[in-house]
Amino acid sequence: MRRMIIARLHNVTGILNRFTAVLNRRQVNIISISAGVTENQELTHTTFVVEVDSLGEIEQIIKQLNRLIDVIEVADITDLPHVAREVVLIKVSAPPERRAEIFTMIDPFRVNVVDVNRENVTIQLTGDSDKIEALIDLLIPYGIIRMARTGSAGFERG
Amino acid sequence: MKKIKLKTAKSGSQLVLETLKDLGVDIIFGYPGGAMLPLYDAIHGFEGIQHILARHEQGAVHEAEGYAKSSGKVGVVVVTSGPGATNTVTGIADAYLDSVPLLVFTGQVGRASIGKDAFQEADTVGITAPITKYSYQIRDTADIPRIVTEAYYLAHTGRPGPVEIDLPKDVSTIEVTEINDPKINLPNYHATEHADKNQLSKLLTQLSVSKKPLVIAGGGINYAEATEELRAFIDKYHIPVVSTLLGLGTVPVENPLQLGMGGMHGSYASNMALVEADYIINFGSRFDDRLVSNPTRFAENAVVAHIDIDPAELGKIVKTQIPIVSDLKEALQILVSADRVTTDFDEWTAHVLENKHRAPFSYGKVNDFIRPQQAIEWIGQYTDGDAIIVTDVGQHQMWAAQYYPYKNPRQLITSGGMGTMGFGVPAAIGAKLAHPDKNVILFVGDGGFQMTNQELALLNGYHIPIKVVLVNNHSLGMVRQWQESFYDERRSQSVFDAEPNFQLLAEAYGIKHLKLEDPKTLSEELKILSEDVPMLIEINISQAEQVLPMVPAGAHNDEILGVYFTDGTDAITGASEEVNHA
């Protein structure tokens, strides 16, 4: 099952390494990871989406993560009301004869076109992971040349 | 950050030593090398801290472990960069698994060379991060007092463990006239965990409704200095106790309620009690698989209460209905002083104690060859169960766990979690240095002995009169036993066809030595142990000797093999007649 984990960490060298080492040791696959400094420059906020077998497993992992000296808090927010967004950049093949069709298709997603040339366009989308997956599915038939996803960033509502 | 002016300029190395001295460190174990030359130069002539020169960095770490495990103090290790640091990895991992408080200083190349594959460079922080409680690389000489103080605090508080400090050569060389505030700054680290009173009262309520309660006494009892409280709790409610390997001694063997070690090579009474109990109260054991064997079937019909200072241990292996995060001493004090709940499990206690008498640890006494179990029993008698027993890893370790009459906390110094062969010789040295007045007896096999016997050089050099009892079966006994039991007796690479003359080896190190082979005279000959000099006593035993009883890995605790019942309901199993002295 997929779980979204957020963590606030001391912004020190090697902390992401220590953090992911705990997941690595337990053979947990990281689906996405995002990290960046917070309102407090000394802290890093991270958002992990991981695949685990059971709730018991993720509970245990969170305890082990909490044990790390530079971890301030870790929480599984999957089942809590939360906001989470990720950004994707997709460079898709768009020769002039298909360009109009592509734009019509993706228009409901409210994407931004951030780069254009004769053969392809680069589209930026911000949204939750489902929306991003849906856009990717839509664009695959046209030929995705390159794609970069940031991974989800999020926290609890309220 | 607040700066503090120093009266005189000090080098990084001086700051390291002075901070350690201020923290109360009076002994360090180490081995010099290039990146550590500045620190070793400062050690030269530094007063108040004794340096013990190991002969291998792994030896230095196990020596510090033996010192720390037997005393509760922090063991301090100093080694150089690269190979010096990597040679400590086994010891650090050993300390991590057994929660031993250690401070390991590793040298590092100068800051400008880090990450550039410099001579004797290794990414020590990267290598040790997964096997330490925390690791530092000091980047600023002015930070040394804070980092060393913090590291020391981390090592011995909360759940103890090894902390690594990587010290670049130039950082230890530079002289500074002011330092950064040395105050500990660990806002998210909670060293003391206070018990939840509601959970503790649940523990007692469950006791009042249970019919078959059982206490598991783990190594955490030692670390929390909670032996007295544990004994008081057991006596108050008259609950039988299963010890883990690292918990031996917390409840004396002679206490009628002590069922002995549980698990793979544990007693019949302990393993049956683990299966039959309807309530298991685990004090400071981490439910290691050598105890639990098969977690899916462990304590199937029992409610489990687990008290540990580390929240990550609760529910990790065994489902726990009453989890309690707490310092054990505090929790036990509250439990002992709480109003007594009404209990009724006399029948149960009588039943498990009967098992203890029905199937004690036992072995056949024969005239042809020495039985190691008997040698350990005799040594137990001669030392009145009061010696510090250190073991290496293997069959002798399990016999020492089964047959020595422990009665004190921190009395058995052994590599529990990691099972590190080579632990014994250096750990015994560390234990003796921590307890010069105690008799320290090391049981070591011929396999593990050959991994770190270079440390024997310390015995005369530092006047360390430990007694090394080399239980020689000319093989890797435990490996061989498993091959005999589970691999169709294919003894693949587990028998030593050629061994050194251990007597001559001891001679080379200038220590007293003797070889004992006759079971008829062994008892008398072992009395030599009372002499206060370092010595090697080699005991030749049968190569066919096995450790029994045994719960095979993954089996249920009651699927125990090799049990001998005193009423003769089962045949004795033990060393076969096939005696093969190499």
Residue B568 pLDDT > 80: no
pLDDT digits (tens, 9 = 90+) for B441-498: 999 999 999 999 999 999 999 999 999 999 999 999 999 999 999 999 999 999 999 9
Q: CATH number of the domain that A136 lies in?
A: 3.30.70.1150
pLDDT at B177 over 80: yes
Residue A34 dihedral angles phi and psi, to the nearest 5°: -140, 150
- Among A80, A112, A131, give the residue marking a domain's end: A80
Spell out which residues of chain A touch residue B129, defining contact as CB-CB under 8 Å: 14, 17-18, 21
How would residue B570 be classed by pLDDT, with cut points 50, 70 and 90? low
pLDDT of residue B574: 41
Segment B74-100 mean pLDDT: 98
Picking from A14, A60, A64, the nearest residue to B125 by CB comes out as A14
Instruction: Give counts: helices (H), strands (E), chain A.
Output: 4, 9
Residue that finishes a domain, picked among A80, A100, A116: A80
Contact B316 A17 (CB under 8 A): no
What are the pLDDT tens digits along chain A (158 aa)?
A: 999 999 999 999 899 999 999 999 999 999 999 999 999 999 999 999 999 999 999 999 999 999 999 999 999 999 999 999 999 999 999 999 999 999 999 999 999 999 999 999 999 999 999 999 999 999 999 999 999 999 999 999 98
Residues 76-115, chain A: which have Cβ within 8 Å of B? none
B360 and B566 Cβ atoms separated by less than 8 Å? yes
Chain B partners within 8 Å of A60 (Cβ): 312, 315-316
Percent of chain B predicted with pLDDT > 70: 98
Pair (A68, A38) in one structural domain? yes
Contact between chains at A64 and B133 (C-beta distance less than 8 A)? no
Cβ count near A151 (within 10 Å): 19
Q: Quote the pLDDT of residue B375.
A: 97
**B36 tagged catalytic:** no
The answer to whether A76 touches A58, Cβ cutoff 8 Å, is yes
Minimal CA separation from B99 to chain A, in Å:
14
Least Cα separation, residue B191 to chain A (angstroms): 11
My answer on whether A74 and A87 are in the same domain is: no
Q: Per-residue pLDDT averaged across B106-112, rounded?
A: 98
CA atoms of B255 and B230, how far apart (whole Å):
13
Q: Are residues A100 and A35 in the same domain?
A: no
Minimum-distance CB partner of A60 among B130, B133, B316? B316
Same domain, A6 and A75: yes
pLDDT at B582 > cutoff 60: no
Residues of B in contact with A17 (CB under 8 A): 126, 129
Q: How far apart are CA B427 and CA B455, in angstroms?
A: 10
Looking at the predicted structure, is the pLDDT value of residue B513 above 80? yes
pLDDT surpasses 80 at B136: yes
Burial A7-36 (b: 16+ CB within 10 A, else e): bbbbbeeebbebbeebbeeeebeeebbbbe
Cβ burial B537-566 (10 Å sphere, 16+ → b, else e) = bbbbbbbbbbbbbbbeeeebbeebebbbee
How do residues B324-348 score in pLDDT, each as one tens digit?
Answer: 999 999 999 999 999 999 999 999 9
So what's the pLDDT on residue B512? 98
Active site residue B319: no
Domain co-membership, A60 together with A112: no
- Whether A72 and A91 map to the same domain: the answer is no
Catalytic residue among B18, B57, B276, B330: B57
Does B569 score more than 80 pLDDT?
Answer: no
A146 and A96 belong to one structural domain: yes
Chain-chain contact of B189 with A69 (C-beta, under 8 angstroms)? yes
| Six-digit token string for B527 | 């009395």
Same domain membership, residue A122 and residue A57: no
The verdict on A10 and A60 lying in the same domain is yes
CB-based contacts of B538, cutoff 8 Å, min separation 6: B470, B472, B502, B503, B513, B514, B515, B516
Domain total of chain A: 2
End-to-end CA distance of chain B: 67
Is residue B57 annotated as part of the catalytic site, yes or no?
yes
pLDDT at B579 over 70: no
Q: State whether A44 and A68 are in the same domain.
A: yes
Q: Residue B351's pLDDT band (boundaries 50, 70, 90)? A: very high
pLDDT of B366 > 90? The answer is no
Residue B578: pLDDT over 50: no
Task: Tell me, yes or no, if B154 comes closer than 8 A to chain A by beta carbon.
Answer: yes
CB-closest option in B129, B188, B312 to A21? B129
Q: Are residues A55 and A15 in the same domain?
A: yes
How close is the nearest chain A Cα to the Cα of B299, in Å?
Answer: 18
Mean pLDDT is lowest, of B256-265, B296-305, B335-344, B560-569, for: B560-569
What mean pLDDT do residues B64-93 have?
Answer: 98
Task: Decide if A25 and B316 are in contact by the 8 Å CB cutoff.
Answer: no
Q: State how far the Cα of B232 lies from the Cα of B237, in Å rounded to an integer.
A: 9
Q: For residue B309, how many C-alpha atoms fall within 13 Å in the half-sphere facing its CB?
A: 26
Strand-pair partners of B440: B388
Co-location of A75 and A91 in the same domain: no
3-state secondary structure of B111: helix
The pLDDT, as a whole number, for residue A86 is 96
The predicted structure's pLDDT at residue B308: 97
Q: Determine whether B515 is an active site residue.
A: no
Q: Identify the closest residue of chain B to A22 by CA–CA distance.
A: B130
In order of their start, the domains of chain B are 3-180 (3.40.50.970), 197-358 (3.40.50.1220), 372-548 (3.40.50.970)
B58 included as an active-site residue: no
Per-residue pLDDT reduced to its tens digit, B155-166: 999 999 999 999
The complex scores an ipTM of 0.90
Choosing from B69, B133, B169, B432, the catalytic residue is B169
Range of the domain at A63: 2-80
Domain edge (last residue) among A65, A80, A95: A80
Cα B381 from Cα B403, distance rounded (Å): 11
Q: What is the CATH number of the domain that holds A40?
A: 3.30.70.260
pLDDT, position B288: 96
Q: Which residues of B471-488 are buried (b: 16+ CB within 10 A; e: fewer)?
A: bbbbbbbbbbbbbbeeee
